[in-house]
Structure 1
Amino acid sequence: MSQQAKKRQIIHVDMDAFYASVEQRDDPSLQGRPVVVGGNPNSRGVVSTASYEARETGIHSAMPLVEAQRRCPQAVFLPVNIQKYRKVSQQIREIFLTYTPLVEPLSLDEAFLDVTASTRLFGSAEKIALTIKERIKDELNLCASVGVASNKFLAKLASDLEKPNGFVVIDSNGIQEFLDPLPVGRIWGVGKKMLERLENLNVHTISDLRRIDQASLSRFFGSWGNQLYLLARGIDNRPVESVHEAKSIGRETTFAFDISDRQELETILLELACDIGQNLRKEKLKSKTITLKIRYNDFRTLSRSHTLSQATHLEDIIYTKARQLLSEITLQRPLRLIGISVSNLMGQGEGHLSLFEEPHRNQEKLVQAIDSILEKYGDKSITRARLLQ
Structure 2
Amino acid sequence: MQKRSAMARQVLHIHLDGFFVAVERARRPELVGQPIVIGGRADGAGRVAAVSAEAGAVGVCMGLPLREAATRCPGAHFLPGNLDAYGEVAEAADALVRRAFSRVEWVSLDEAYVDATDLRPDMGKLVTATEAIRAALRRELGLPAACGIGASKITARVASHLARPSGLLYVLPGYDARFLAPLAIDVLPGLPQSLRESLASCGVRLATLGDLACLSDDVINGLVSCEKTRGSEVTLWRRLASGDDDRVVLGSPVPRVVAVQTKLEGAFVGVDGLASRVQDLARDLASELGRRRLLARQLTVRATDVTDAMHNGTVILTMATSSATALAAAAATALRRALGWPRSVTALSVRASSLCAWDAQPPLFPARDVKPQRAPRTRVARSLRDLERILLVAGDRPLTRRAS
TM range (shorter): 0.5 to 0.7
* 1:207 lines up with 2:177 in the alignment: no
* CA distance in 1: counterparts of 2:42 and 2:175, whole angstroms: 47
Change over 3 Å in CA distance of 1:63–1:4 after alignment to 2: same
Change over 3 Å in CA distance of 1:348–1:127 after alignment to 2: farther
Change over 3 Å in CA distance of 1:115–1:34 after alignment to 2: same
Match of 1:349 in 2: 319
* CA distance in 2: counterparts of 1:32 and 1:374, whole angstroms: 31
**What is the number of equivalent residue pairs in this alignment?**
278
Deviation at 1:210? Answer: 2.4
What CA RMSD, in Å, does the superposition of the two structures yield over aligned residues? 3.7
SS of 1:185's equivalent in the other structure is helix
Match of 2:333 in 1: 366
Q: Any runs of at least 4 consecutive aligned residues in structure 1 with deviations exceeding 3 A, and if so which? A: 118-124, 191-200, 214-218, 283-286, 346-350, 362-365, 368-379
Give aligned-pair identity as a percent.
28
Match of 1:331 in 2: none
Match of 2:326 in 1: none
Listed as ranges, the matches of 1:230-269 within 5 Å are 230-243=239-252
Listed as ranges, the matches of 1:164-313 within 5 Å are 164-200=165-201, 201-214=204-217, 216-217=219-220, 219=224, 220-222=228-230, 223-243=232-252
Deviation at 1:3? Answer: 7.1
Change over 3 Å in CA distance of 1:216–1:347 after alignment to 2: farther
- TM-score, normalised to structure 1, is 0.62
Change over 3 Å in CA distance of 1:3–1:107 after alignment to 2: closer
Change over 3 Å in CA distance of 1:118–1:172 after alignment to 2: closer
Match of 1:62 in 2: 63
* CA distance in 2: counterparts of 1:98 and 1:72, whole angstroms: 40
After superposition, give the CA deviation of every residue in 1:56-97 in whole Å (9 maximum; x if it has no partner). 122222333223222211111101101111111111111111
Change over 3 Å in CA distance of 1:172–1:221 after alignment to 2: farther
Change over 3 Å in CA distance of 1:122–1:159 after alignment to 2: closer
* CA distance in 1: counterparts of 2:69 and 2:55, whole angstroms: 9
Change over 3 Å in CA distance of 1:154–1:119 after alignment to 2: closer
Change over 3 Å in CA distance of 1:135–1:232 after alignment to 2: same
Give the counterpart letter for 1:206 in structure 2: L
Give the counterpart letter for 1:104 in structure 2: E
* CA distance in 2: counterparts of 1:93 and 1:81, whole angstroms: 19
* CA distance in 1: counterparts of 2:49 and 2:211, whole angstroms: 35
* CA distance in 2: counterparts of 1:224 and 1:374, whole angstroms: 55
Structure number with greater CO (CA < 8 Å, separation at least 6) is: 2
Change over 3 Å in CA distance of 1:23–1:107 after alignment to 2: same
Change over 3 Å in CA distance of 1:191–1:93 after alignment to 2: same
State whether residues 159 and 169 of structure 2, in contact with CA within 8 Å, keep that contact through their aligned partners in structure 1.
Answer: yes
State whether residues 148 and 163 of structure 2, in contact with CA within 8 Å, keep that contact through their aligned partners in structure 1.
Answer: no
Question: Greater share of helix residues, 1 or 2?
Answer: 1
State whether residues 99 and 115 of structure 1, in contact with CA within 8 Å, keep that contact through their aligned partners in structure 2.
Answer: no
